[in-house]
Amino acid sequence: MTTNKYTAALLQFVLILVTAFQAAISNGLTTTEAWQLVALGIAAVGTYFLPLVTGPWAGALKVGIAVLGAVVAAIIPLVLGQWTAETFIIVMLAGLNALAAQIGVSARMDSVTAMLVDPDKSSGAIFAVDPPASRIVSDVLSE
C-alpha cells in the first residue's frame, strides 16, 4: 500500500533516468535533450508533490502535470529547431512518462478501493495509511 502512494513519481523518475541514459549513449547529451529532460524532471517533481484532487477525477492533477511535461518536451525541439531521432525518442518516452503517472495513480486508487470494499479490512487502518486516497475512494463509493 505505501509503495502505491509513490508509484506515479517513482515510475517517472525511472523513465527519466532511462531517457537520459539513452540520450547520453546515442550522441552525448545535447542542449535540446537536456532541456527536454529538465521539463520531464519538473513534471516528475510536480507529480510527486501535487496532492490528489478530490472527487471522481482523483489524480487528474498529477497526470495532467505529466502530460504537460510531455507536451513541453515535444515543443522544445520545435522551438530550438533541433528535431533529431534522439529528441523524438525522448518525446516518445515522455508519453510513456505520462502513462506511468496514470498507472501510478490508478494503482494507488485501486489498492485503496480493494481494501475499503474488503469486509475483513478495517477502514480506520486504511484511512491511517493513505488518508487522501481513502477519502476520495470513500466519497466515490458512497455515490
Residue 132 pLDDT > 60: yes
pLDDT score for 75? 92
Mean per-residue pLDDT, 106-115:
77
- Residue 82's domain comprises 2-112
| Contact in structure between 35 and 80 (CB atoms under 8 Å) | yes
pTM of the model: 0.72
Residue 47 placed within a domain: yes
Cell triple for 17 = 533516468
Number of H helices, E strands in the chain: 6, 0
Number of structural domains the chain divides into: 1
Note whether residue 129 is domain-resident: no
pLDDT in tens, 66-85: 899 889 988 999 898 888 88
Question: Does residue 142 belong to any structural domain of this protein?
Answer: no
